[in-house]
Amino acid sequence: MQQTRRDQVATFLFFAFITVMLFSPVLENVPVLSSLNLDNMVTFLCLGAILLFQLKQPKAWMAQEYLILALLLIIICLGIFGNTVSGIHGTKFIVLDMWSISKCFVAYFFGRLAFKPGFFSSQIDRLVLYGKWVIGILFLLLLVNLVYPIWPSTEIRMGIKTQYLIFPHATYLSATTFFCMLFLGLKNVRHNIPFLAMGSILIFFAARNKGLIFIAIYFFMLLFQHYAKTKSFKISYLILPVVTLVASFWEVIDTRLLSSTTSARSLLYQAAFKIADMYAPFGAGFASFGSGSSVKNYSSLYDMLRFYDYYGFTRDNPQYLNDSYIAMFIAQFGYIGIACFAMILVIFLLMINRRSGRIQAFTLVLFLYAVTSLFTELYLTTNLGVITFFFIGIAFGDEGRRPDLRKEVLWKKPFH
């Protein structure tokens, strides 16, 4: 009975965490909850839980995880040294920036340590049902909004009016739908095709290019699972598609991220490399460029770079100043910092490569979605980065019962 009660509590906490993280942008629009900063508050509670679990009953970590922590510590030290060199101070803002780059790792270790082996596999049926409910409700809201615009939008992308629905930005609608589509891929895909179609329509009306790209990647992974003779997707399989995509879209990448004089993100990257050169090898340090704290404090680097001449980069309208995680990282932690961060990403890829079946597919698509988002937004500092690494952590801790990937489980189970 005690074990059953513990399992029920764990299940409740699991789904409460997922719901709060996915819908924190919506909840924070409620006046009573607006000041709570839910994703930070919940992640801070997770940090306390990690310390408590490790003190009460320590769990072994993988060698790669100690390396990740060591690299994160090096990055933090680089930031502190950078603050000394650049002369940008402010303890409050520096601490907030440290927390913002660390909380996704807190979520990862919480997922790894807080739940027993096999827990994630035991929740797959509930996750599928959860995904159906969320996608179903959002799809009904979309239909209503198309007929009678309760949540009006004036933004036009790809020739259609962008839908936000209950979210403050279309990115959150697209990402929430995408997470729920991934849940549906964990079991009995054939039964969930109508909901996958609804999710695809929701992402189409959210009009996010990244969301559409990852629908294609997601369905590719599902087809690979179905037709491949092996249960494991080797990371080396990604090399050719990645090289092909980069070569095909290099002109767009170069224009939007590197050489444009009008694109906001291109200006951010150009300034980031200038700052990395100016304050080599450490970078300019925390709260200096591209982060939420640097915007609140309006870093002196923005004045030095004359950002006040550009729309969206001024004190009164700083909406584009924190529009790329990678640009922020290059400026704040320099080339050494970005090399350390690249090593962390490679370590995660290698750990994913050791998995197999639906757990591997689930974590790989999540990871690729997160990495792609780093170039276009401060993904890892948001609720979406937190929930991404929470899922990767809990999936990595699911060693007690490895799921296999038999075709009859995913595709050929009869309709009854």
In this structure, what token pair is assigned to residue 375? 């170039």
The confidence score (pLDDT) of residue 140 equals 95
The confidence score (pLDDT) of residue 399 equals 61
In this structure, what token pair is assigned to residue 244? 């092909």
The residue whose two tokens read 């490569």 is 353
Query: How confident is the prediction along the chain (416 residues), in pLDDT tens digits per residue?
Result: 677 787 788 899 999 999 999 999 888 887 777 777 888 888 999 999 888 888 877 877 888 999 999 999 999 999 999 999 888 888 899 999 999 999 999 999 999 988 888 889 889 999 999 999 999 999 999 999 988 888 888 777 767 788 888 998 888 999 999 999 989 888 877 788 899 899 999 988 888 777 777 777 777 777 766 655 456 667 666 777 677 767 776 776 666 666 666 677 888 888 999 999 999 888 999 999 989 899 888 888 998 988 888 888 888 888 888 888 999 999 999 999 999 999 999 999 989 888 877 788 888 888 988 888 888 888 888 899 999 999 999 998 886 444 443 443 444 443 33
The confidence score (pLDDT) of residue 108 equals 94
Q: Write down the domain spans for the chain.
A: 37-116+237-399, 122-232
Q: Are 223 and 187 in contact (CB under 8 A)?
A: no
In this structure, what token pair is assigned to residue 369? 């979605």
The confidence score (pLDDT) of residue 292 equals 87
Distance CA(170)–CA(173), nearest Å, equals 5
Distance CA(355)–CA(256), nearest Å, equals 35
> Is the four-CA dihedral 378, 348, 203, 130 of positive or negative sign?
negative
- Residue from 270, 280, 398, 262 nearest 326 by CA: 270
Q: How many residues does the chain have?
A: 416
Q: Are 120 and 394 in contact (CB under 8 A)?
A: yes
pTM above 0.95, yes or no: no
The confidence score (pLDDT) of residue 153 equals 80
End-to-end CA distance of the chain: 32
Burial 21-60 (b: 16+ CB within 10 A, else e): bbbbbbbbeeeeeeeeebbbebbeebbebbeeeeeeeeee
Would you give the DSSP letter of residue 58? Answer: -
DSSP per position, 329-343: HHHHHHHHHHHHHHH
Q: How far is CA 347 from the centre of its chain?
A: 17
The confidence score (pLDDT) of residue 30 equals 79
Cα dist from 346 to 237, 271, 286, 365, whole Å: 15, 26, 24, 15
Distance CA(78)–CA(263), nearest Å, equals 29
The residue whose two tokens read 């990678």 is 326
Would you give the DSSP letter of residue 62? Answer: P
